[in-house]
Amino acid sequence: MRLHGIQVLRGAAALMVVLHHLRHELAALGLGADALAQLPLWAGVDVFFAISGFIIVHATGPAYEGPGGRRRFLAHRVARVVPLYWLVTLAYLAVALVLPRGLGDAGAAAGDPAYLAASFLFWPAARPDGSLQPLYGLGWTLNYEMLFYALFALCLGRGRRAAVAWTGAALAGLVLYGRLAEPAAAALRFWSDPIVLEFLFGAAVALIWEAGLRLAPPARLALAAAGICGLALVGGGEVAGFARPLLAGLPAACLVAAFALGDPRPAHKVWDPAWIGPLSRLGDASYALYLVHPFCLRAVREGVARAGPAAPLGAWGVGALMIALSVAAAVLTYRLVERPATRALRARLDPAPGGAGRIPNLVRGRGTSVFRGPEPH
């Protein structure tokens, strides 16, 4: 059983992030993108976090509850996240070493071995300007993802509900500690941000799914409308603190529920897999799209700038070219790099029977298979 809706939502979230960064590249070329500036495209990250919470809980079955379950869970997560992220970080590091001035504080930090190690190991560390970002800036979301995975792994062994409850308590405790103690340590300041609560929203949807609740199409449409309207009300101005999970995280969870809580039986399907399949395949490549699109956007920007004035193409023409190149590069990266690398590392880290087998693109049933995670990441 393929959760096509969740895959489509993953692809949409990745495109939101692409458009969020695209408008800055257009502005650098002197092309206006006022319409994009009014949209909450930055909330694609919040949608990803809610999807992560849903998928990790939904796909965690008996295979992770027995002896060695925690190790297997982490092995699968590392195999899913690390290879492609390390490759793009190495590519960015090469650029930073060749053109340090062109990358600002990231280029200046590239010469610090401790900072580089932290960037590769998903440990929050500060740049010279004080921002808590890894060398490849998009990795900040993966630093949160890895925290969620680690805490969830520690809480495995007592069933899904207990794992969610204990993980929720740990994340809530971190947030409370951050608000009360205002820790000086960079990692604790970063991990105690209220945005981590968004994983719990998605996890709650997964528990609802496991309880057997399925919604009729009108209810799902209402949830989707609530999520879209909620994000639209926030607008283009990014919010922080507790406002972010409330104003962006909850609408994101509504979207996850709308796409996940349908009845999978053929008689109750709203979408026909014959036409939704191509859209869901963009979700397959959403992690690659998240990680490689900055290279594509900048390549088009530099190419257009060197070719002459961008005015003849206009914002729409240049933007379409940027999106097309980003999507094409993502699909190729997914097929030629990400998927083979993930399989190879998973086979090495989890050589047990079934551990190195085919990695499904989507959750199957209620059981033990592992979703190809929703990281944006």
For residue 45, the model assigns a pLDDT of 97
Integer Cα distance of 14 and 34 in angstroms: 20
Q: How confident is the model at residue 107 (pLDDT cuts 50, 70, 90)?
A: low
Is the per-residue pLDDT at 327 higher than 90? yes
3-state secondary structure of 272: coil
DSSP 266: G
Integer Cα distance of 16 and 44 in angstroms: 5
Is the per-residue pLDDT at 168 higher than 90? yes
Q: How confident is the model at residue 243 (pLDDT cuts 50, 70, 90)?
A: very high
DSSP 375: -
For residue 257, the model assigns a pLDDT of 96
Q: Where is average pLDDT lowest: 30-39, 131-140, 329-338?
A: 30-39
Q: Where is average pLDDT lowest: 152-161, 231-240, 261-270, 331-340?
A: 261-270
For residue 269, the model assigns a pLDDT of 53
For residue 100, the model assigns a pLDDT of 65
Integer Cα distance of 302 and 321 in angstroms: 13
217 against 66, higher pLDDT: 217
Q: Where is average pLDDT lowest: 64-78, 87-101, 257-271, 360-374?
A: 360-374
Integer Cα distance of 371 and 359 in angstroms: 8
Integer Cα distance of 36 and 24 in angstroms: 10
List C-alpha distances in Å: 53 to 17, 49, 56, 72.
19, 6, 6, 18
Integer Cα distance of 60 and 163 in angstroms: 10
Please provide the DSSP assignment of 191-253 as one string.
HTSGGGGHHHHHHHHHHHHHTT----HHHHHHHHHHHHHHHHHH-SS---TTHHIIIIIHHHH
Is the per-residue pLDDT at 176 higher than 90? yes
For residue 73, the model assigns a pLDDT of 93
Q: How confident is the model at residue 360 (pLDDT cuts 50, 70, 90)?
A: very low
Each residue's pLDDT tens digit, 130-164: 889 999 999 999 999 999 999 999 999 888 999 99
97 against 134, higher pLDDT: 134
For residue 313, the model assigns a pLDDT of 78
For residue 308, the model assigns a pLDDT of 75
For residue 64, the model assigns a pLDDT of 77
Integer Cα distance of 63 and 91 in angstroms: 36
Across all residues in the chain, what is the average pLDDT? 86
Is the per-residue pLDDT at 246 higher than 90? yes
Is the per-residue pLDDT at 361 higher than 70? no
Each residue's pLDDT tens digit, 308-318: 766 677 888 99
